[in-house]
Chains A and B, each alone.
Chain A
Amino acid sequence: MATTYRNCPRTGLQFDTAAEKLMRWNAVVGVVFLLVGGIMALFVILTRWPSVKLLPADQFYLVLTAHGVDMLLVWIIFFEMAVLYFCSSTLLRCRLATPKWAWVQFWLMLVGAAIGNYAVLAGESSVMFTSYAPMMASPLFYLGLILFAVGALIGCFVFLGTLVVAKNERTYEGSIPLVTFGALTACIIAIFTIASGAVILIPTFLWSVGILKEIDALMYRVIWWGMGHSSQQINVSAHVAIWYAIAAIAVGAKPLSEKVSRFAYFLYILFLQLACAHHLLSDPGLGSSWKVLNTSYFMYFAVMASMIHGFTVPGAIEAAQRAKGYNNGLFEWLRKAPWGSPAFSGMFISLVSFGFLGGISGVVLGTEQLNMLMHNTFYVPGHFHATVVSGTTLAFMALTYFLVPVLFKRELIAPKLCALQPYVFGISMGVLSLVMMGAGTLGVSRRHWDMAFSGAPFQYEWPGAAYLMMGLTGIFGVIAVIGGAMFCLLIVGSLLWGKKLDEGKVTTERTPFPPNTVAANVSGHGDAEHASVPGTVVLAMLLLVSFVLYYFVNWKYLSEVWGLS
């Protein structure tokens, strides 16, 4: 069957029609699992809200496991498959390598996710997303995850194959676009992640069916986190790529410097996965120097990379806005940004939340000694709701708003609600992560059904402030669930009932990068290099000052606890 291409009349992007179908299906299934995970989130939040406490303990741990698996793995990786295909075949204007294998990816992941969900919902596998051995889930749980991971691995190789196709067929000149480079970073990290997953999940599966006798509990933790944390590093790379993409699409931003941005990605490839150690800082059996070197991504080089992206993304937006004449004062460029476009607002809220809330808290949490103040407390989910939800999920939502007319050829329904949704979701999720971290600072445990310890031989009364924080967690959690539900309804509604848009011409001829479209116009106009970005400098300094203060406040806290040596 010959490859056919469709030129989007609105953006000038060219889609391989086979790849396009795959992107649509991966994204749609991702959103369906987002919906499932969101329903679970509502049950989780209504149970942890002390004055509501909806579910009994067994059901609580069941929905919490499902929430973790569906959100952290299924929704995000399905969406990332769509992103990988988009960043390769669409951005490089070439055909997708082996679409048939890409369908194998899709079906394996779908079957794996379905089996995994069945195993959890059947009640035999309430072991949390981390499934620490020797706590055993049903074999189906591990089997589902393995099938899912194999599917994702195939997707990674389809992406790499497509890069080769583009190179061989000379569909672009020079280097791949920055966004594709970011996707490549995500892909490389994904392969490491899946390899770690295979190394630990396959023996664990064999153990669950009785073939292996024992899985060492500490070894399990070390290798499992090679998958568990690295899978979140795929997200970081992917959503930073999406920030650059949306900045380019929404305001025509050009990277301040290709060299700096690509170098920052390169640091991700080298160092980001070492962060698996973040979860092992309060473990026995691992040496201090191992902990220090790994938890700091070998001297914080990946943190440096994120700080660079945190500067260059808003910097690129500022330069583009100033070039349009928004030059008054420090922040006119920001005030006059397209805040009514959900793609832009979602992206910007994602950027700010990830930097200020997720980034800073992550580094503090990942400092060897400071970790003892927060390990396994509610601070941990507080932190990763700021990174994975406010950061990744919100960036993916923002990109989806852009993709509905382009990829699905539908107009968004209820544009005012669409414009509102990133604010509802982003702000409530930001506050939610803050109050969760607040509760964690006061010691409240994560994955814990009952703050009142019913059935314990004696009592411990949490401070009143902890109950206040948990109450606020309940309130803002429910608002965040509403924000998430708005997204699912608006997107599904648009796909079903949105006005059909002109899909453009479908031909068997590949067209090169066209000169006169929105997407292409932002290139070739000289350079944004050395544009002055004073507003971004101020924002970046604000981040650094908050970072330094919060970092040392925590050392102060640590110096006040019992002596440990």
Chain B
Amino acid sequence: MSAILPPADRLWWKQPIGKQEWMWIGLAFTWAMIMFVMMIYWHINGKQNLSTETYKSTPEMFAAKAEKFIAENTVRTETDQNIPVVKANDKGEVYLTASLWKWWPILELEKGKTYKVHLFSMDYNHGFSLQPTNINIQVVPGYEHVVKMTPTQSGTFAIVCNEFCGIGHHSMLGRIYVK
């Protein structure tokens, strides 16, 4: 009964399965169920689940909200490009805009507080990659994604763009301060 020939026994489906195979099938099945339950368990008891809160939006609509947020909550500007450093508003919301090729503005957060981060792309797909923590979220144009984040360490964090977005992709670096 070679694999490249028709089965010698025409009634191959009636042959019993060996013990070692049953054992392995059983183990594989059990492991499959454990992995499946693990994802659900983490939704109930885990502290890292990606929010699904999403709104369809347009660059004009989002820009209006984001500019208002920046105008009201800027604490200072940094670098020779005068990038605003912005704190969360009193509802704990921050707006982060991805566009060719910048993350705008710089955010200043506090350790242990929970924020609603509104992520939006003005043009192409971008990738929100928080380093060195290593959290990676896809930013898809047309969709405002509201992610709840709770910084657990203080320091200076980088937002690398990790979805290819054209020739300036590598220069698209943002910043988050956590106090």
Q: Which of A347-355, A449-457, A472-480 contacts B (4 or more CB under 8 A)?
A: A449-457
CA distance A369 to B158 in the complex (A): 21
CA distance A463 to B138 in the complex (A): 23
CA distance A455 to B167 in the complex (A): 12
Q: Are B129 and A134 in contact (CB under 8 A)?
A: no
- Say yes or no for A443: interface residue by CB 8 A criterion: yes
Q: Which residues of chain A are within 8 angstroms of B138 by Cβ–Cβ distance?
A: 280, 282-284, 375-376
What 1/0 mask marks residues of chain B from 141 to 152 whose CB sits below 8 Å from any chain A CB?
111110111111
Residue among A285, A288, A311, A522 with the highest chain B CB neighbour number at 10 A: A285
Q: Are B24 and A308 in contact (CB under 8 A)?
A: yes
Q: Are B173 and A460 in contact (CB under 8 A)?
A: yes
Given the known A-B contacts A372-B50, A564-B149, are A528 and B24 also in contact in the complex, defined by CB atoms under 8 Å?
A: no
Q: Which residues of chain B are within 8 angstroms of A445 by Cβ–Cβ distance?
A: 127, 129, 160-162
Q: Which of A37-45, A106-114, A216-224, A485-493 contacts B (4 or more CB under 8 A)?
A: A216-224
A382 to chain B, nearest CB (A): 14
CA distance A450 to B164 in the complex (A): 12
Q: Which of B15, B124, B135 meets A257, CB within 8 Å?
A: B15
Q: Which residues of chain B are within 8 angstroms of A256 by Cβ–Cβ distance?
A: 18, 21
CA distance A135 to B16 in the complex (A): 55
Q: Are A450 and B170 in contact (CB under 8 A)?
A: yes
Q: Which residues of chain A are within 8 angstroms of B6 by Cβ–Cβ distance?
A: 172-177, 513
CA distance A58 to B10 in the complex (A): 59
CA distance A45 to B40 in the complex (A): 39
- Say yes or no for A501: interface residue by CB 8 A criterion: no
Given the known A-B contacts A292-B39, A301-B32, A445-B160, are A563 and B137 also in contact in the complex, defined by CB atoms under 8 Å?
A: no
Q: Which of B27, B32, B152, B173 meets A303, CB within 8 Å?
A: B32
User: Which residue on B lies nearest to A281, using beta carbons?
Assistant: B50
Q: Which of A242-250, A328-336, A338-346 contacts B (4 or more CB under 8 A)?
A: A242-250
- Contacting residues of chain A (85-125) with chain B, CB-CB under 8 angstroms: 91
Residue among B3, B83, B133, B170 with the highest chain A CB neighbour number at 10 A: B3
Q: Which of A135, A441, A562 meets B150, CB within 8 Å?
A: A562
- Contacting residues of chain B (98-131) with chain A, CB-CB under 8 angstroms: 102, 114, 119, 123-125, 127, 129-131
Given the known A-B contacts A91-B4, A308-B28, are A372 and B123 also in contact in the complex, defined by CB atoms under 8 Å?
A: no
Q: Which residues of chain B are within 8 angstroms of A558 by Cβ–Cβ distance?
A: 46, 48
Q: Which of A132, A135, A460, A519 meets B160, CB within 8 Å?
A: A460
Q: Are B129 and A135 in contact (CB under 8 A)?
A: no
CA distance A248 to B54 in the complex (A): 52
CA distance A548 to B127 in the complex (A): 29
What 1/0 mask marks residues of chain A from 252 to 293 whose CB sits below 8 Å from any chain B CB?
111111111100000000000000000011111111100010
CA distance A385 to B114 in the complex (A): 38
Q: Which residues of chain B are within 8 angstroms of A261 by Cβ–Cβ distance?
A: 3
- Say yes or no for B136: interface residue by CB 8 A criterion: yes
CA distance A445 to B169 in the complex (A): 11
User: Which residue on B lies nearest to A453, using beta carbons?
Assistant: B173
User: Which residue on A lies nearest to B37, using beta carbons?
Assistant: A299
CA distance A244 to B15 in the complex (A): 19
Q: Which of A179, A217, A443, A533 meets B3, CB within 8 Å?
A: A179
- Say yes or no for B66: interface residue by CB 8 A criterion: no
Given the known A-B contacts A283-B138, A450-B170, are A559 and B48 also in contact in the complex, defined by CB atoms under 8 Å?
A: yes
- Say yes or no for A145: interface residue by CB 8 A criterion: no
- Say yes or no for A232: interface residue by CB 8 A criterion: no
Q: Which residues of chain A are within 8 angstroms of B130 by Cβ–Cβ distance?
A: 562
B134 to chain A, nearest CB (A): 4
Q: Which of A134, A174, A537 meets B24, CB within 8 Å?
A: A537
Q: Are B36 and A448 in contact (CB under 8 A)?
A: no
Q: Which of A259, A456, A459, A527 meets B13, CB within 8 Å?
A: A259
Q: Are A244 and B132 in contact (CB under 8 A)?
A: no
CA distance A518 to B35 in the complex (A): 43
B54 to chain A, nearest CB (A): 4
Q: Which of A282, A307, A531 meets B28, CB within 8 Å?
A: A307
- Say yes or no for B8: interface residue by CB 8 A criterion: yes
B150 to chain A, nearest CB (A): 3
- Say yes or no for B43: interface residue by CB 8 A criterion: yes
- Contacting residues of chain A (512-553) with chain B, CB-CB under 8 angstroms: 513, 519-520, 522-524, 527-533, 536-537, 540, 544, 547-548, 551
Q: Which residues of chain A are within 8 angstroms of B21 by Cβ–Cβ distance?
A: 256-257, 260, 311-312, 315
Q: Which residues of chain B are within 8 angstroms of A316 by Cβ–Cβ distance?
A: 3
Q: Which residues of chain B are within 8 angstroms of A308 by Cβ–Cβ distance?
A: 24-25, 28
Q: Are A523 and B8 in contact (CB under 8 A)?
A: yes
Q: Which residues of chain A are within 8 angstroms of B133 by Cβ–Cβ distance?
A: 561-562
B50 to chain A, nearest CB (A): 6
A40 to chain B, nearest CB (A): 16
CA distance A252 to B27 in the complex (A): 28
- Say yes or no for A367: interface residue by CB 8 A criterion: yes
- Say yes or no for A497: interface residue by CB 8 A criterion: no
Q: Are B171 and A258 in contact (CB under 8 A)?
A: no
User: Which residue on A lies nearest to B166, using beta carbons?
Assistant: A135
- Say yes or no for A377: interface residue by CB 8 A criterion: yes
Residue among B19, B48, B83, B133 with the highest chain A CB neighbour number at 10 A: B48
- Say yes or no for A373: interface residue by CB 8 A criterion: yes
Known: A91-B4, A373-B136, A565-B114; 18 extra A-B contacts, CB below 8 A, are: A177-B3, A177-B6, A178-B7, A258-B9, A258-B12, A261-B3, A285-B52, A285-B143, A292-B39, A315-B21, A372-B137, A375-B136, A377-B134, A455-B170, A462-B131, A537-B24, A559-B47, A563-B149
Question: Residues of B with Cβ closer than 8 Å to A?
Answer: 1-10, 12-13, 15-21, 23-25, 27-29, 31-33, 35-36, 38-40, 42-43, 46-52, 54, 79, 81, 83, 102, 114, 119, 123-125, 127, 129-145, 147-153, 158, 160-173, 175
Report 17 cross-chain contacts, Cβ distance below 8 Å, ordered by A residue.
Answer: A132-B124, A173-B6, A177-B5, A257-B15, A282-B138, A284-B119, A299-B32, A367-B38, A372-B137, A373-B134, A376-B163, A445-B129, A448-B170, A558-B48, A559-B47, A562-B133, A564-B47
